[in-house]
Amino acid sequence: MLELKDLELKFFTEDKEIIVLKKINLVFEKGIIYALTGPNGSGKSSLARMIMGIHRPTTGQIIYKGEEITPLGITERARRGIGYAFQHPARFKGLRVTDILEIAMEHPDNHECPYLREMGLCPDDYLDRPLDDSLSGGEIKRIEVATLLAQDPDLRILDEPEAGIDLWSFEQLTAVIARSHRPDCTTIIISHQERILNMVDEIILLEEGTVAMHGARDRVWPLIRESTRCTCSRDCPERGNFYADCPR
């Protein structure tokens, strides 16, 4: 489905060069659910944004469905079936929830709008809401995931879909992601959460812009488990999270 060959990403500021991703070589197969995990700042979102065409790699190639897409922009990549639910979704003044869902859907004729409902939002209450600051962080995140479900791309990337989603809705979120994953599509979930890492087929661990580990969950999981998660006291809000910014 997707092959990343010798990818490198650098950002240039006025006085220095920042190397964010170094020599990334990865193959993502059809039908597999991947988790991309690693410490804050290790380059996970940058990698996702590069696959989506928001950042262009400094060097390297991106091959999608057997064709090189490195020079293509976001719109063409979306047209070819790549979708990305942002870590920090944008708010669009002047647009309503229903507008963004209609843009996402190839055939916007399903007025039932199951996607919002699947994300725990009642369409009657939300379809006409403006996509602005009046929506809470958790609501905008759910709408972002619902939009990706509506788009139903062949390669879908969810960047920390659980962020801001309350504990009670977490199981529903993982169930929706698993249920909507088609055998002919590829799902990449960026996450630090154990419950997400438990539902995937393969785990990729990024550290300082390089792939530190990649393999089947059952093999990779035990290797990274104890060494990387917050294990401080029971009342620590980050307990159980991976590479979280543990305050202690």
DSSP string, the chain: -EEEEEEEEEEE-SS-EEEEEEEEEEEE-TT-EEEEE-STTSSHHHHHHHHHTSS--SEEEEEETTEE-TT--HHHHHHTTEEEE-SS----TT-BHHHHHHHH-SS---TT-HHHHHTT--HHHHTTSBSSTTS-HHHHHHHHHHHHHHH--SEEEEESTTTT--GGGHHHHHHHHHHH--TT-EEEEE--BHHHHTT-SEEEEEETTEEEEEEEHHHHHHHHHHHHB--S-TT-TTTTBBS-----
Stretch that binds Mg ion, among 55-63, 81-89, 177-185, 211-219 (CB under 5 A): 81-89
The reply on whether position 142 binds ligand ATP by CB under 6 A is no
The reply on whether position 41 binds ligand ATP by CB under 6 A is yes
Of 4, 24, 28, 44, which one interacts with ligand ATP (CB under 6 A)?
A: 44
The reply on whether position 46 binds ligand ATP by CB under 6 A is yes
Residues numbered 8 to 27 that lie near ligand ATP (CB under 6 A) are 11, 18, 20
Stretch that binds Mg ion, among 10-18, 39-47, 73-81, 109-117 (CB under 5 A): 39-47
92 binds, among ligand ATP, Mg ion, none (CB under 5 to 8 A by kind): none
Number of residues lying near ligand ATP (CB under 6 A): 12
Q: Which is nearer to Mg ion, 160 or 202 (CB)?
A: 160
146 binds, among ligand ATP, Mg ion, none (CB under 5 to 8 A by kind): none
The reply on whether position 241 binds Mg ion by CB under 5 A is no
Which residue minimizes CB distance to Mg ion? Answer: 45
For residue 189, give both structure tokens: 């979930």
Positions in the binding site for ligand ATP (CB under 6 A): 11, 18, 20, 38, 40-46, 87
Instruction: Give residues in contact with Mg ion (CB under 5 A).
Output: 44-45, 87
